[in-house]
Amino acid sequence: MGGLVQKVKLFGEYIPWFQSMRDKGAIAFDELGLPTPKTEAWKYTKLRDLNTDDLVIEPSNFLAEMRVAAEEACGCHHEDGGCGCHHHHGEGCCCGHHHEEGECHCHEEGHVCECQQKLHVPFEAYVIHFEKGKMIPPFPDFPRGVEVMNLMEAVLTEDAKEYLGKVVDIKLHPFAALNNAYMEEGIYLCVHKNVKVDKPIVLINHTKSGEENIFFNIRNLVVLEQGAEAEFVEWYNYTGAVKSRYFANVVNEIVLGKNAKLSHYKLQDEAFKANHIALSVVKQKADSNYHNFCLQRGANIGRNEVKVLLNDENASAEVDAAYIMSGWATLDTTTDILHLSPRTYSSQLVKGVVGGEAKGVFQGKIHIAQDAVQTEGNQLHRALLLSDTAEIDVKPELEIFADDVKCSHGAASGELDENQLFYMQSRGIGREEAKQILIDAYLNEALDKVKNPEIRAWLSDYAHAPQE
Amino acid sequence: MTIPLLEIEDLYARVADKEIIKGFNLTINEGEVHAIMGPNGAGKSTLSNVICGKPGYEITSGSIRFKGKDLTKMSAEDRAREGIFLCMQYPVEIPGVAVTTFLKHSVNAVRKYNNLPELDTMEFVKMVREEGKKLGIDNEMIKRPVNVGFSGGEKKRLETLQMNILKPSFAILDEADSGLDVDALKVVAEGMNALRDGKRSMLIITHYQRLLEYVVPDFVHVYADGHIVKSGDKTLAAEIEKDGYAEYTRER
């Protein structure tokens, strides 16, 4: 059996309030169905390449995760510890190579497992590891006032009950409905009142070669109480053969209390034949500030949708993004900023580089409600086309129901400038290198929006031109 | 002994479908400074672009050899790495790319081609500061994006800085119809004179004699209708200044 809808054993079926959310998700998805070319919100991102028929959802891993977490917590030594990548001699080596029995080098002294090398976060951070959508314990030690749990743990303790499923409207988002139906994996992150987290919290989901045809759902709930501040990073990473196919469906529900401040960064670097669809919905109280920056560079179909509800006065949001792609990919950046109170502010800068026969999609909506006076919403999308066959589809939308607002949007696309290229070549810089320099400069304008210099440097390393 | 550096023989070249260079011949030996003067629209800038390999210019017949190598088969970047430098009439603005970044890529690409070790950041910064100081280029200027918001004089200073850093064996100064002020011209002229060492060669492409007062050429050629119509020494430049180009354009 395969496909997006299938029977699978998940944890927590006996928790009525939680299970009913799953059931409602399944029903909503059944009613909505997959978006078609006629679905306005999916007008340009065609899902015919989603190829879900042979996808498999793996059964619950929650109890195993809890057991390992408990063992780690006891401080015992584990014989097979080493790299912590949870495979055993004789089983398929995680490095993706084929070995004769006993030839796996992962556990030899001094050997750093390939997957571990890739998972290195090059800045000080609290790192939470996921593999193909399943959490790999243990969690790092968080400081006081920062609560992080496996989502199911937060369901059991009912910490998640207040907000889970209440930020995102599954009737509007078919993939979020689907995410509801299989809700189990993900994290619950809560930063208590006035606590400022000292280091970024990084969620890495790592998928590697051989893990094909898997469909996984990740659901995160991020709550910042009044005056709290945090940086949250999502990193979707893949190593191994190019042909690997899987489907990651991610939903983040984010709640920002009064005067809270969240910087939310994301790197989408999935396999070129994988699909990645993500939705973040953010609810903001007065004086809170949300900054989102997403760099997309992988996947066959990649969509990052951010919906921000500026519910109270003086809430502000900055939603920026960059994408860089080639081949046949479709990368979609969709934003929906709702100004629902007076004096709310938003700005967006999205820049993309598209080569090959790839397609970049930007849909940006700014909605200003009737009483949301003296608000300001700005949006700019720019794209660079590297080939004649590359395509850009842009749909900016302004819905303004209030007077006395400042609003702007702009879109532009162009090609690399031959005069600039020749100028560099005439100084000895190779044509390909010159192109790379111009592309870097182009994307830097968006990357400069990332305020944390270490995270900016990390993302910059991935913002390079696609290989043609 | 005279050693030929650049040899152009019976060159024909066109842009789009328009033939612009028609039967052009010129040999420049090591250490020589040549000036090409001509009326507006004679195709003077086309000549420098063809020598440097700008895309869009097609050589239909003839040959260009540099240090004995066939230039026409070389990419623009390889021509630069071989030691040809084009000091541009209108240097291009490159937003988002700092002068230092640009220079470092340039210097190391040329060094790599010539089997020299790439400079590390320390060595590079030291060199740029030293060379910049001579031209009145401060540290603030080299942090700015290439030519963006630069005055005419600053652009010329940056061109000269690049020339002094790359130390080409052959420099082309394209001032075909530039209305640049005298101070800016002086900066470039001084930079070019500093490179004159009896081995390096230069080609100055200009409309006016003015520039040739600062960089005194060994040979002056009058260029009209796609080829050289008269050659002489520096006195020819003075003649043209007095009588204009009418005599040469009428000839056709």
Q: List, for residues B7-19, the tens digit of each pLDDT value.
A: 999 999 999 889 9
* Structure-block tokens of residue A95: 């490095």
- The parent domain of residue A392 ranges over 16-462
For A441, the closest chain B residue by CA position comes to B96
Q: For residue A11, is it within any domain?
A: no
Quick check: is A9 in a domain?
no
pLDDT at B188: 80
Q: How many domains does chain A have?
A: 1
3-state secondary structure at position B48: helix
Mean pLDDT of B142-150: 93
- Give the closest-approach CA distance of A208 to chain B in angstroms: 35
Contacts of B68 (CB under 8 A, 6+ apart): none
- For residue A467, being part of any structural domain is answered with no
pTM, two decimal places: 0.84
Instruction: For residues A221 and A233, give the distance between their C-alpha atoms in angstroms, rounded to a whole number.
Output: 13
- Asked whether residue A118 is domain-assigned, the answer is yes
d(CA A420, nearest CA chain B) in Å: 6
Q: Which of B55, B85, B91 sits opposite A423 (nearest CB)?
A: B91
Q: Report the length, in residues, of chain B.
A: 252
Q: Is residue A86 part of a domain?
A: yes
What per-residue confidence (pLDDT) applies to A88?
39
Q: Are A167 and A252 in contact (CB under 8 A)?
A: no
Please report whether residue A305 resides in a domain: yes
> Which of A417, A419, A427 lies nearest to residue B106, judging by beta carbons?
A427
pLDDT tens, position by position, B49-81: 999 999 999 999 999 999 999 999 999 999 999
Helix (H) or strand (E) holding A308: strand A301-310
Reading chain A (468 residues) residue by residue, the pLDDT tens digits are 468 998 888 999 999 999 999 999 999 999 999 998 889 999 999 888 788 888 899 988 888 888 887 777 665 444 444 444 444 333 444 444 444 444 444 444 544 445 444 478 999 999 999 999 999 988 899 999 999 999 999 999 999 999 999 999 999 999 999 999 999 999 999 999 999 999 999 999 999 877 678 999 999 999 999 999 999 999 999 987 767 889 999 999 999 999 999 999 999 999 988 999 999 999 999 999 999 999 999 999 999 999 999 999 999 999 999 999 988 899 999 999 999 999 999 999 999 999 999 999 999 999 999 999 999 999 999 999 999 999 999 999 999 999 999 999 999 999 999 999 999 999 999 999 999 999 999 999 999 999 999 999 999 999 876 544
Nearest Cα neighbor of B217 from B250, B189, B188, B242 is B189
Cα separation, A447 vs A328, in Å, equals 24
- B-chain CB neighbours of A444 within 8 Å are 96
Q: pLDDT grade, residue B185 (50/70/90)?
A: confident
Percent of chain B residues topping a pLDDT of 90:
64
- The answer for B 16-75 residues in CB contact with A (under 8 A) is 52-56, 75
What is the distance between the alpha carbons of residues A384 and A414, in angstroms, rounded to a whole number?
5
Is B199:B205 a contact under the CB 8 Å cutoff? no
Domains, chain B, with CATH or none: 4-93+146-250 (3.40.50.300)
Any domain includes A396:
yes
Specify which residues B170 forms β-bridges with. Answer: B84, B201
Report in angstroms the alpha-carbon separations of B70 from A215, B7, B63.
58, 10, 7
Q: What is the mean pLDDT of chain B?
A: 90
Q: What is the mean pLDDT of residues B120-132?
A: 92
Residue where the block lists tokens 């998928």 = A207
Measured CA distances, A362 to A18, A263, A301, A336, A410 (Å):
34, 22, 13, 11, 12
Residue B69 CA, chain-centre distance (Å), reads: 19
Q: Is A436's Cβ below 8 Å from some Cβ in B?
A: no
User: How far is residue A420's CA from residue A108's CA, in Å, rounded to a whole number?
Assistant: 51
What crossing angle do the helices spanning A453-462 and A431-447 adopt, rounded to 10°? 140
pLDDT of B178 reads: 65
The reply to whether A1 falls in a domain is no
Task: Give the position of tokens 């061109």.
Answer: B159
Strand order in the sheet with A376-385: A134-136, A126-131, A201-208, A229-239, A261-269, A289-296, A316-325, A345-354, A376-385, A406-415
B118 in A contact zone (CB under 8 Å): no
Q: What is the ipTM of this complex?
A: 0.95
What are the backbone dihedrals phi and psi of residue B140, each rounded to the nearest 5 degrees, phi first?
-65, -40
> In this structure, what token pair is assigned to residue B66?
């540099």
Distances (CA, A) of A266 to A140, A259, A291: 20, 23, 11
What is the per-residue pLDDT for A117?
47
B2 pLDDT tier (thresholds 50, 70, 90): confident
- Pairing mode, if any, of strands B4-15 and B94-98? unpaired
Comparing CB atoms, the residue among A418, A423, A444 nearest residue B96 is: A444
